[in-house]
Structures are given as structure tokens and as C-alpha cells.
Structure 1
Amino acid sequence: MFYEPRNGHGLPHDPFKAIVAPRPIGWISTRRPGGELNLAPYSYFNAFSSNPHLVWFSSEGEKDSASIARDTGEFAVNLVSLALAEKMNQTAIDAPPGISEFELAGLTPAPCRHIACPRVAEAAATLECKVTEVLEPRDLKGNHAGVFVVTGEVVGVHIDEAMLTDGLFDTTKAQNLARLGYMDYTAVTETFAMRRPRWKDR
């Protein structure tokens, strides 16, 4: 089949998110200027540079995480592992401003080193980030899409040392959780390795 998104797909549900999958989940923690804590998962999240370490998350609509990160200049990305799936889902609730999702989900806020907002103590890894820019993408007609893309440079990394195997972060131990389409998720339980080919070895 072929369809143009502007004309609809004719399927029971939009397949777009299922096609662009799996997507890592950025579990974004922030702290309001008044001190209130906020925690929410974003599946439009990824790293896009290793030098410097840059990550971004995208908010469809100016939700709390995006506005707080913009206003304070910082956020933390907490890794969601399979063991934390239910708690992550609890933090996706549309809680009113001022309600701490840490408390709702029974999670422990732990201090970061270089930013004022907390990290999730139970997470296998956390990236401390300082905001470098906030983008508002446009559609083909030049209109703002109502999307806010928050970019941050990683200034600190926390790793649970139990997740290291021979000095490497072991994604099968952490069982990194990823979002698929619809209400579906998956976790990393096995991996395989491939080396990039080199022209001189042909």
C-alpha cells in the first residue's frame, strides 16, 4: 500500500509510530524554579552527536518538561529499563502542575552533580544535560508544527556499576526499554555484533 499522510491511511491506527520504531525513551526529569519536581517519558528522544555529546527530546505541545527545561536551562535523561516499565508508565499521567511524578510513582529523586534537577536513583544510567537550544520546527507551509525540540549537551553521566560487563555498559543487563507503535513496548534482551567494513579489506 501507499498513502500520503495528509490524506489519511485508511487503517485502524496510524502506522507512522510503528514504522519509526523502536524508539529509546528519554525519561526527562526537571525542577521548576520554585523547587517542584517533574518527571515524564518522551519516546521522541535520541542522541545525535558524540563529540560533543548532544541529545534531544521532542514535545508535541509545550508540555511541562520542555517549558521547565527551557526556563531553567537544564534537564536529566534517565534510562528506562524493563524493571522500571510500570513506574515509567505511571509518570506519563497528565498530572496538574506542581504534582511530583517521582512521588506518584514511588521513585527516589537523587542529586545530580552539575545541574539542580534530580535524577531517578533507581535508573541504570542518567545523563545530566544543559540546554543548548530549543527549536520550533515548521511544516511544509511554513507554519509552526506545535512541536518543541529541546537540545542538551551532556555534562555528566551516572552509571549503575552493576550494569557494566568487562568495562562495557551492558544493555542486556539493563534491558533498555523502547517504545514501538500503538501501546507496545520492547526491551533489549539479546544483541548481536557486526563490524563496519573497511574498503582496504575488500
Structure 2
Amino acid sequence: MFYRPADGHGLPHNPFNAIVTPRPIGWISTRDAQGRTNLAPYSFFNGVAYEPPQVMFASTSNKPDRGDTKDSLANIRETGVFCVNVVEYAMRDAMNATSATLPREVDEADSAGVEMAPCREIDCARVANAPASLECRMTQIVKIEGAFNFVVFGEVVGVHLRDDALVDGRFDVTTYQPLSRMGYRDYTVVREVFELKRPDD
């Protein structure tokens, strides 16, 4: 099968959503100028640089009460900060609950029963029990093709690691089992890890 996205695919669901997988989930916490917390998952998320450490996530839709975007991006425009929380398998239901479209004044973390804690370097909340949380200062918001498509870049200025995820001096994903997004409504979990040495090692 071949199709041009501009012409449509003719399938019941968009196959593009299932091609680039698995995708890590950035559980993005933000606050607005009034100090209200927002928490939402984004699967167009990744790390993009080591020195200084930087991450990105893309926001690709909008809400009627936020104009051209959603709460997360609107809040980052106001405050310039956000926190990326890593999602573990045990938090899958809470993460999913925070994906609900709610009015801007509603705290998704509170609605989903997610315990939050203050960040150290930025004025924002983080998921208290996340395996890792990355405190970020926004560096760029890039408008890309599409009416509501924006990419947010941030420099990581603080890192929280849960103690039980550190094993022999390494951040060990097998201790908490990262959750990843597949296509459609499908997810997967990391339970097996193997090592490959590079030719230059």
C-alpha cells in the first residue's frame, strides 16, 4: 500500500499514528500566571541534546477556551517553565485520566488523584512519585505546519530521580517499567532491556 497523506489513506484509523512507535510519554506539568497547576500527557516527546540537557514536546490540538492551543502550551507562554514527569506502568490509569479535556481552571492532577510536589529550580509543580522529573526552562516555541501544531523546547535545569530507580549508580528503567505510546489507543511497557556495544566502544 502507498498513500499520499494529502489525499487520505482510506483506512478506518490513521496509520501514521502507529508507525513511529514506541514513543516515550512526557507527562507535562505547568502552571498559569495565577499559579494554577495543569498536568497532561504528550507522546510527541523526547530528549534532544546532552549538553546542556534539553527536551522537546509537541502540542497538536487546541481547546475552545485557549485559542490556538491547549492549557500546557498556554501556561508555558505565560510563565516560561514546565516539568516533564516520566510515566511508569503503575501510573498508567492516572496518566490516562489527566488526558481528559477539562476547563482551564480545573486541576487535572487533583481530579485524577495525583500527588504533586514543588519543583526546586522553577516555580511549577511536579508529580511527587514519578520515577524521574525534569525541571525545564522554555527556550523556544516553534510553530510548525498545521493550524495548532507547536513544538516546545526546554533546557533541563533540575533533575529529580526516585531513589529506587537508581541501581549501582545507574538510572535503571527495569525498576519502574516505563510506559510508552503505540498507535491508536495502544500502549506498551518496557520489561526487557539488553545492551549493544558500539563499534567505537
TM range (shorter): over 0.9
Partner of 2:198, secondary structure, is coil
> One-letter code of the match for 2:52?
P
- Does 74-83 or 53-62 show the bigger shift? 53-62
The CA deviation at 1:164 is 1.1
1:29 aligns with 2:25: no
> One-letter code of the match for 2:129?
E
Partner of 2:18, secondary structure, is helix
1:14 aligns with 2:14: yes
Q: Is 1:127–1:154's contact at 8 Å kept on the other side of the alignment?
A: yes
The CA deviation at 1:145 is 4.1
1:119 aligns with 2:126: yes
Q: Is 1:24–1:45's contact at 8 Å kept on the other side of the alignment?
A: yes
Structure 1 residue aligned with 2:66: none
Report the aligned-residue RMSD: 1.1
1:42 aligns with 2:49: no
- Alpha-carbon distance in structure 2 between the residues aligned to 1:63 and 1:193: 39
Structure 1 residue aligned with 2:187: 185
Which has the larger Rg? Answer: 1
1:96 aligns with 2:103: yes
Partner of 1:128, secondary structure, is strand
Partner of 1:134, secondary structure, is strand
Counterparts in 2 of 1:71-82, with a 5 A limit? 71-82=78-89
Structure 2 residue aligned with 1:141: none
Structure 1 residue aligned with 2:197: 195
> One-letter code of the match for 2:179?
L
Report % sequence identity.
Answer: 53
- Alpha-carbon distance in structure 2 between the residues aligned to 1:146 and 1:92: 17
- Alpha-carbon distance in structure 1 between the residues aligned to 2:26 and 2:106: 20
Q: Is 1:136–1:145's contact at 8 Å kept on the other side of the alignment?
A: no
- Alpha-carbon distance in structure 1 between the residues aligned to 2:168 and 2:17: 35
Q: Which runs of 4+ in 1 moved over 4 A?
A: none
Partner of 1:87, secondary structure, is helix
The CA deviation at 1:3 is 1.1
Partner of 2:12, secondary structure, is coil
Partner of 1:150, secondary structure, is strand
**TM-score normalised according to structure 2 size:** 0.94
Question: CA-to-partner distance for each residue in 1:118-156, whole Å, 9 max, x for gaps?
Answer: 000021110000000100013xxxxx5421111100000
Q: Is 1:70–1:150's contact at 8 Å kept on the other side of the alignment?
A: no
In structure 1, list runs of 5 or more residues that go unmatched.
Answer: 139-143
- Alpha-carbon distance in structure 2 between the residues aligned to 1:45 and 1:79: 11
Q: Is 1:90–1:105's contact at 8 Å kept on the other side of the alignment?
A: yes
**TM-score normalised according to structure 1 size:** 0.93
Match of 1:105 among 109, 112, 121: 112
Structure 2 residue aligned with 1:172: 174
1:69 aligns with 2:88: no
> One-letter code of the match for 1:151?
F
> One-letter code of the match for 1:183?
R
Partner of 2:137, secondary structure, is strand
